[in-house]
Amino acid sequence: MSPALTGPYPITQGTAGSMLGTIYDANGEPVMLNLAVDVKLGIEPVSPALGVAPRNFYLRLSLDTPGRFAWDYVANDVNVAGLFRAQVHMLMPDGPKSFPNDGYLDIAVLPRAGGLP
């Protein structure tokens, strides 16, 4: 995925926005996401103590840039602060694929400043 992050991807709790990324194959070439039958972002809390069940979100795919996707999240998608891990799951013509295939993309949902709603 790109861009490479040195830490978790930060999202402020209870906000709406888009997380953008690009998926590359083992040869460094962008994955042709338009060939996928199904593309979702699977997210689960790192700690079960957060009380959040794993969830899947459909991704918006770029028709102009191979491998490019966006997760358009709404406030309810990120209403619990904490550390989460994610993978992009795809059903490709040659079978299911997950990226990154050697780990997870870390997402940090940060508490709103001053506990504001």
Q: For residue 91, give the H/E element and its range.
A: strand 82-92
pLDDT above 60 for 91: yes
pLDDT of residue 10: 94
53-64: pLDDT as tens digits: 999 999 999 888
Domains and CATH numbers, the chain: 9-112 (2.60.40.10)
15-73: pLDDT as tens digits: 999 999 998 888 889 988 888 888 999 999 998 888 889 999 999 998 889 999 999 99
pLDDT of residue 100: 86
Distance CA 20, CA 72 (A): 9
Helices and strands (DSSP H and E) totals, the chain:
0, 9
Distance CA 28, CA 57 (A): 25
Are the beta carbons of 52 and 80 closer than 8 angstroms?
yes
pLDDT above 50 for 109: yes
Compare 100 and 40 and report the one with higher pLDDT.
Answer: 40
